[in-house]
Structure 1
Amino acid sequence: MLQTLSHDNMQGRATFTAGIEKAADFIEEEFHAAGLVPLNGNSSSQAPSYRQTFYVHRLTPSQTEVKLGKKTIAPEHLFVNTAHEAFSWKHKNKVNIISIPEGENFRAAFAKANAGEQDAIVLVHPSHAEAFANYRGYFARGGVKKEVGTGASKVYVLTDQAAPKKYEVKFANKVEKLPLSNVVGMIEGKRKNEFVVFSGHYDHIGFHHSIDGDSIANGADDDASGTTAMMMLARYYKEQPQPERTLIFAAFTAEEIGGHGSRYFSEQLNPDQIMAMFNIEMVGKPSKFGPNSAYLTGYEKSDLGKMMQKRLEGTTYSIHPDPYPEQNLFYRSDNATLARLGVPAHTISSVQIDQDKTYHTVKDEFELLDMPHFTSMIRAIALAAQGVVSGEDTPMRVDKALVK
């Protein structure tokens, strides 16, 4: 499974490509072979569809023109963050003018400016040129939005002008409405309306900077490993007697471009009926804690981690608190959407993220993964989750006020 999902013919599983469609087809076949039913419960078809399809809008900049005073700004000194198809501003519109001066923390200042609820032109001092170029590389490609025409627009300009008296902005996006699909199956439990979710994201970043003639970012660890673990757990639980709680197995799309798949999934269920979420991400390499070990992001936000560790007592397996809090991993994967709704939703991982040199590169390949470790991770999750699956363990809810 892991080899198939990370093969070159999947072309890195980027969203909106033939490669990710091929991956979705493969996951559907595996769910069908395992005997899962679609989330809607319709299992009468010879070839049931496990696709959970929804639509988003891809916005690609087609026009960006900015004039400050009498000076026309060069394209490489501009980028825009907006969910609007087009807009045109002149100084009479009284758009906010925000400055990021020399010596300020650019990342923090950018985050603050971006969070503003009013349209704004953000003037960035040339001393931040390197950081500006990095951000521009991301935003100039456009983005994916659920809705078009909502929220404030921000225009970022690299300039030494501190307070231009006049400005003129013309911007337009090319807008495409495109489908995305999660792949979701389930095993109905005796308690039909108490759900336990096992998940992983099956998208990756597609093609990337070429190394030695290789430009396919295969995403073996990120996150073919988590998706494969989820599918193996589906097989395992299907071979067991009917579980007490209903088990949902979800392969999420579009994690790499904003978590759109998990967001849509969360809207299809009542979060109060989801007892726990075991999101699995990058479990193909040993953790810093040694053999047969993994860590849980947001460990302190519920008691799920302690329940898992208690179930592992007397075995060689162990679950630890996230050792990389500075990396903000709890909010960087698909668990965060459900956690914000109060679900004890956490990500299980083992990657040494502060040292991993293959993350988001063309070197994240099957051959570099540790298969004995990966196998032990799947076994550990099956053992650790048993109390929640059987209904004997019910973790505390996440305090929504403490989840940003």
Structure 2
Amino acid sequence: MKKKVLKFSVSFLWMLSVVFTCNTLVAQNNTTPLIDSILVKKHLYTLASDEMKGRKVGTEGIEKAAQYIENEFSKLELNTFEGAADYRQRFKKKGIKLFNIIGVLEGTTKKEEYVVISAHYDHLGILKAVNGDAIANGADDDASGVTAVLSLAKYWKERSDNERTIIFIAFTAEEKGLWGSNYFGKKVNPKKYVAGINIEMIGKESKFGPKSAFLTGFDKSTFGKIIQQNLKNTDFKLYPDPYTKFRLFYRSDNASLARLGIPAHTFSTDPIDTDKYYHTVDDEVETLNIGTITNTIRAISIGTESIIKGIDTPSRVVD
């Protein structure tokens, strides 16, 4: 009996520490839903599990990931995109059957104005084995981003006060060269799209320290300044992309929308110049910080709120 009490106490203390750590980084209004660190962990560990076999396009692993995302959209009762029969936007490229997973939360007063919240759910699959491990799980790249999309979908569904329509997208084949987002971009009217909120690799502390992230293409629209203003009364800071030599603005799925003039940018925390796990079999959940992911998602929810609520409209992208 004593052993059981001790086990409960340790678990309880651990849970308290997670909640306390994550709740103190970014303040949230008591009347709004909470971005739940426990749910964040569930999504991350599922999407980056060995069962997904690295989520390479055209494999059974990515099919399992797609089904998981679809199931989460279904539980939230999101609408399908443009009246589709299901959440898949199907297409084929180089003989590979591909599909973006898209769920829609219709807005109220400005439902014909669209905001995209996106991340890519594919990764590299099976690589050369290192210490007996050949699965490139892609925990940071980009299970962390998809975790953010799913968490924000639940957050905004529970709020039910988005003036603009939110389109939640898990893009496929980003690792192939933005195939999924390029296909999506060819099928939409860019004039109706107000902003693209893309999320990539948010599992490690940024070079700016705790409670911070950076935004790609910061100087190409007023999007970043709007986010900074909205975060002004929190303890989270957003910075312009410090890795301009890597041209990250053009290497993630935001680029497919930005080329259409849509103010689409990517949030990230990854110290890419020193990240030894990037595109390796060692990109595992154990290398990530759940608190960093949770608080970055919370910061994105606060930072983009005025755009989703129809208060602010970022300027179009200029190159």
Distance 1:183 1:236 in 2: 18
Q: Counterparts of 1:86-165 in structure 2 under 5 Å? A: none
Choose the corresponding residue for 2:196, options 277, 289, 304: 277
Question: Match of 1:53?
Answer: 90
Question: Match of 1:180?
Answer: 98
Deviation of 1:209 (Å):
2.3
Asked if 2 retains the 8 angstrom alpha-carbon contact of 1:7 and 1:218, the reply is yes
Deviation of 1:210 (Å):
1.3
Larger fraction in strand? 1
Question: Match of 2:261?
Answer: 342
Q: Counterparts of 1:2-41 in structure 2 under 5 Å? A: 2-41=44-83
Distance 1:320 1:218 in 2: 28
Question: Match of 2:177?
Answer: 258
Q: Secondary structure at the match of 2:183?
A: helix
Question: Match of 1:359?
Answer: 278
Question: Match of 2:139?
Answer: 220
Larger Rg: 1
Distance 1:32 1:281 in 2: 23
Distance 2:281 2:193 in 1: 36
1:205-232 CA deviation, whole Å, 9 max, x = no partner? 0011211100000000000000110110
Deviates more, 1:349-358 or 1:234-243: 234-243
Question: Match of 1:239?
Answer: 158
Q: Secondary structure at the match of 2:180?
A: helix
Deviation of 1:18 (Å):
0.6
1:33-92 CA deviation, whole Å, 9 max, x = no partner? 1221111246xxxxx6200101112xxxxxxxxxxxxxxxxxxxxxxxxxxxxxxxxxxx
Code of the aligned partner of 1:377: T
Deviation of 1:178 (Å):
2.7
Code of the aligned partner of 2:75: A
Asked if 2 retains the 8 angstrom alpha-carbon contact of 1:209 and 1:361, the reply is no
* Residue 235 of structure 2 corresponds to residue 316 of structure 1: yes
Deviates more, 1:211-220 or 1:239-248: 239-248
Question: Match of 1:88?
Answer: none
* Residue 107 of structure 2 corresponds to residue 189 of structure 1: yes
Deviation of 1:258 (Å):
1.1
Distance 1:312 1:235 in 2: 21
Q: Secondary structure at the match of 1:9?
A: helix
Asked if 2 retains the 8 angstrom alpha-carbon contact of 1:51 and 1:184, the reply is yes
Asked if 1 retains the 8 angstrom alpha-carbon contact of 2:161 and 2:309, the reply is no
Distance 1:357 1:394 in 2: 38
Asked if 2 retains the 8 angstrom alpha-carbon contact of 1:388 and 1:394, the reply is yes
Asked if 1 retains the 8 angstrom alpha-carbon contact of 2:185 and 2:256, the reply is yes
* Residue 216 of structure 2 corresponds to residue 300 of structure 1: no
Question: Match of 1:373?
Answer: 292
- Moved runs in structure 1, 4+ residues, more than 2 A? none
Deviation of 1:261 (Å):
0.3
Distance 1:348 1:18 in 2: 29
Distance 1:277 1:229 in 2: 14
Q: Secondary structure at the match of 2:57?
A: coil
Deviation of 1:242 (Å):
3.4
Q: Secondary structure at the match of 2:82?
A: coil
Code of the aligned partner of 1:178: I
Taking every aligned residue pair, what percent have the same amino acid on both sides?
A: 53
Asked if 2 retains the 8 angstrom alpha-carbon contact of 1:221 and 1:366, the reply is yes
Deviation of 1:2 (Å):
0.6
Deviation of 1:6 (Å):
0.3
Code of the aligned partner of 2:125: G
1:280-307 CA deviation, whole Å, 9 max, x = no partner? 0000111011111100000000010000
Asked if 2 retains the 8 angstrom alpha-carbon contact of 1:5 and 1:23, the reply is yes
Question: If the length of structure 1 is used for normalisation, what is the TM-score?
Answer: 0.67
Distance 2:83 2:86 in 1: 10
Question: Match of 2:11?
Answer: none
Code of the aligned partner of 1:56: K
Code of the aligned partner of 1:329: L
Aligned residues: 276
Asked if 2 retains the 8 angstrom alpha-carbon contact of 1:219 and 1:365, the reply is yes
Choose the corresponding residue for 2:302, options 383, 387, 392: 383
Deviation of 1:268 (Å):
2.0
Unaligned 5+ segments in structure 2 are: 1-42
Q: Secondary structure at the match of 1:13?
A: coil
Question: If the length of structure 2 is used for normalisation, what is the TM-score?
Answer: 0.85
Q: Secondary structure at the match of 1:12?
A: coil
Q: Secondary structure at the match of 1:210?
A: strand
Asked if 2 retains the 8 angstrom alpha-carbon contact of 1:188 and 1:242, the reply is no
Q: Secondary structure at the match of 2:160?
A: coil
Question: Match of 2:33?
Answer: none
